[in-house]
A and B are shown apart, each in its own frame.
Chain A
């Protein structure tokens, strides 16, 4: 199962919107996924345990060693499909972690 971390300013509002849209899209595409939410300030200490980081806004505050996708389009509705497509591609692609 792939693990996605969704981060936003307070880990509540916009990340909930983004997280539920990702869950919905994955369900439709038949991808087994676990989506968690956090504050941007927590990314540094949490990101390592995840396969993909999705942020609701822009994020220049720190580096993460996992792929990062900015998903502001899921809030504005402009370019929403493309972003969902990009997220799904990352989750389908080979970056599978060996099962522990």
Chain B
């Protein structure tokens, strides 16, 4: 026993570069991927981690001091760096409890499917990181594996149910049938957008407002191109840091490099996980043969919608401005400005493409992300430092993912602040919404049923 303990601790101490190939190989073998293929996947992911570490060092080492200087010079208190969801996903996948969480989430999906409590089959293992990170952070704070697992399972249930409930919008608004999107990065906005959209429906005068903006892609298109985004933001912060001209451009080009390099490194993670995802897909499809379900996909499949693009291109600059003036916010938006389309996609669908509402509600969602990101930054920063990422030059890290997302934040708080009181409250709210949605679906079903029979007559 002692020997196992010593080996285990030596591995934990070795850090993610050593741990990742081992963890991923084990996960792969459990999904019946061949040993060599599984090991190659693990090694690819470890390489991705090494790459992300380099890029985050480049980001933190350059932008960190500049952000601090900006705080001193102008009192614009934005010292928490948005390092982007890719870096957070890297931290997530390198946690020693990740195999437990992955199988916990997968099992949750299978159990819900068996008891017909969900229609979503989600074997997109890659996107499990949104659910897993909440458990990892809860485990990091409480040192209790069960609370960690519980938080991830809770995230999973909420993700699958929100995916079920939004599937009609994916079919009707985006025109993709048979699919649901259990990606929390876009689903989280729904809990803010759905009630707000209802509210606006009831305010006379406001409920009729809509407008359209022409040529956003022509004039604001560069906000969608990460390399220009990085250059402009880097130079802008360099100016506010009162750097000399050459250093301003140095910061700009370095930040453009970060914007381009982070996704390239993250793609290695995706590449490594693909064989495992495919194996999981095969295994579960055999198990549920003949059953009709919604295939869970990455929300990436809907962000190509033109209203989503327009809304995102308008929300990106407004979010940067909002970050500076929003009381209590310390997050400096950066790497995750590239994934704003995900945060607004479901909002646009719920508002049925009404640009006024989409814009207003998206900005409120982004404000919530910034504030939750500020609140949970200390824990996330400590967690990232334990994986060997050097963040000493910055005032902390955050992103538009992980516990910055409204739903993830609520689950995290419930499981870490006072689980015996908060978790039951969260459950009651979930069950209440569930019952309401079921009743609504039934009524809608009856209404369309009578409509059809009426037409038949």
Q: Which residues of A contact B (CB under 8 A)?
A: 7-17, 20, 37, 39-42, 44-45, 55-62, 72, 75-78
**Residues 285-333 of B at the A interface (beta carbon under 8 Å):** 285, 295, 297-306, 308-309, 312-313
Cβ contact within 8 Å between B298 and A14 = yes
User: Is residue B338 contacting chain A, with contact meaning CB distance below 8 A?
Assistant: yes
A9/B274 in contact, CB under 8 A: no
Q: With contacts A16-B267, A41-B221, A41-B309 known, is A61 near B304, CB below 8 A?
A: yes
Please list 20 pairs of residues, one from A and one from B, whose beta carbons are closer than 8 Å in the complex, sorted by A's number: A7-B304, A8-B298, A9-B298, A9-B300, A9-B304, A9-B339, A10-B300, A10-B342, A13-B298, A13-B300, A14-B298, A14-B301, A15-B300, A20-B271, A39-B338, A41-B221, A41-B313, A45-B221, A58-B176, A58-B304
A16 touching B305 by the CB < 8 A rule? no
CB distance from B190 to the nearest CB of A (A): 17
In the assembled complex, the Cα of A28 lies from the Cα of B176 at a distance in Å of 30
Cβ of B224 within 8 Å of any chain A Cβ, yes or no, is: yes
Across the interface, do B297 and A10 meet the contact criterion of CB distance under 8 Å? no
- Nearest 7 pairs of A and B residues by beta carbon: A57-B301, A41-B224, A9-B300, A59-B304, A9-B303, A61-B309, A16-B270
B174 touches A (CB below 8 Å)? yes
Supply 10 further A-B pairs (C-beta < 8 A) apart from A9-B301, A61-B217: A10-B342, A12-B267, A17-B270, A17-B274, A39-B338, A41-B341, A45-B221, A56-B300, A75-B301, A76-B179
Q: How far is the CB of A31 from chain B (nearest CB, A)?
A: 21
Q: How far is A20 from B268 in the complex, measured between Cα atoms in Å?
A: 12
Q: Are A9 and B225 in contact (CB under 8 A)?
A: no
Give every chain B residue within 8 A of A40 (Cβ-Cβ): 303-304, 309, 341
B266 at the binding interface (Cβ < 8 Å): yes
Contact B304 A10 (CB under 8 A): no
B126 CB within 8 Å of chain A: yes
Contact A44/B217 with A13-B127, A75-B297 known, Cβ cut-off 8 Å: yes
Contact with A along B196-227 (1 / 0, CB 8 A): 00000000000000000000010001001110
Task: List the A side residues contacting B341 at CB < 8 Å.
Answer: 9, 40-41
Instruction: Establish whether residues A16 and B221, one from each chain, have CB atoms under 8 Å apart when the complex forms.
Output: no
A21–B364 CA distance with the chains assembled, in angstroms: 39
B304 touches A60 (CB 8 A): yes
Tell whether, in the assembled complex, residue B305 and residue A60 are in contact, meaning their CB atoms are under 8 Å apart: yes
B interface residues, tally (CB under 8 Å): 41
CB distance from A27 to the nearest CB of B (A): 16
Pair count A-B, CB < 8 A: 116
CA distance A77 to B280 in the complex (A): 13
**How long is the Cα–Cα vector from A61 to B174 in the complex, in angstroms?**
12
- Asked if B267 and A8 make an inter-chain contact with CB atoms under 8 angstroms apart, the answer reads no
Decide if B175 is an interface residue (CB 8 Å cutoff).
Answer: yes
Report the bound CA distance from A76 to B120 in whole Å.
Answer: 12
Chain A residue, CB-CB nearest to B272? A16
CB-CB < 8 A to A41: which residues of B?
221, 224-225, 309, 312-313, 341
Residues of chain A lying within 8 A (CB to CB) of residue B270: 12-13, 16-17
B200 to chain A, nearest CB (A): 25
User: Cβ of B104 < 8 Å from any Cβ of A?
Assistant: no
Most buried by A among B86, B263, B271: B263
B304 touches A57 (CB 8 A): yes
Is A57 touching B303 in the complex (CB atoms < 8 A)?
yes
**Nearest CB in chain B to that of A10: its residue:** B339
Chain B residues with Cβ below 8 Å from A58 are 174-176, 301-302, 304-305
CA A42 to CA B305, docked complex, whole Å: 14
**Assuming the A-B contacts A42-B224, A78-B178, are A57 and B267 also in contact, with contact meaning beta carbons closer than 8 angstroms in the complex?**
no
Residues of the A chain whose Cβ atoms lie less than 8 Å from the Cβ of B295: 75-78
